[in-house]
Structures are given as C-alpha cells and as structure tokens.
Amino acid sequence: FKSNLFQSAFESNKLLLPLSIKYKENNVLTNRTSFHGSTTLMQSFKRVAKSNLIEVVVDIGHPVKPTQSRKDLSLKLREAIALKIN
C-alpha cells in the first residue's frame, strides 16, 4: 500500500471501494495462486493448473472517502481490507 499510488484517488476526492480477494482450495485458504517475488508467470500458471477446483472469494468493503492525506487514505484502505481477509 504505497501512498504515492493513491495520489489520483486523493485528488479526485471520490469514494474508493476496498476489495479483498481470497483463494480457497477444498474450502481452505490457499496461496497456490500467488505470483510474487521471483515466481515467473509460467511457474504460477503451472501451479494453478495442477490444482483442484480453486474458489475465488471477492469481498467488497464499505466505501472510503479520501480525507487528510494520501498516507491516511492508504492506511484506511489497508485496514479495511485486512478486516475482510482475516
């Protein structure tokens, strides 16, 4: 949650919807779909292809209005999403 990435949202003063995305395999949270660090796109694709049915759960939080600063906005969105994924 780099606050500088929220500059345009902060300047537009529009409501933002925090989204959380969780992946489940056999009804258990999985990180099999993760794509980060030195993982290549092909490695990630192969891992997903070898999986059983993976369920994607998208949870939409309450709208957040930009307030004092980009940093404040970033923190509010991070907290809103953390509540949904934990």
Give the single-character DSSP code of 16.
B
Query: Any bridge partners for residue 20, and if so which?
Result: 59
> What pLDDT is stored for residue 44 in this prediction?
84
Whole-model pTM? 0.67
Residue with tokens 């969105």: 77
Largest CA distance in the chain: 46
Cα of first residue to Cα of last residue in the chain, in angstroms, is 17
In this prediction, residues 31-52 reach a mean pLDDT of 83
Q: How confident is the model at residue 39 (pLDDT cuts 50, 70, 90)?
A: confident
Strands 19-25, 28-29: pairing is: antiparallel
The residue-averaged pLDDT of 9-35 equals 86
pLDDT at residue 60, rounded to an integer: 92
Average pLDDT along the chain: 86
Decide: residue 31, CB within 10 A, 0-12 exposed, 13-18 middle, 19+ buried. exposed
Per the rule left: phi > 0, alpha: psi between -120 and 50, beta: everything else, 19 is beta
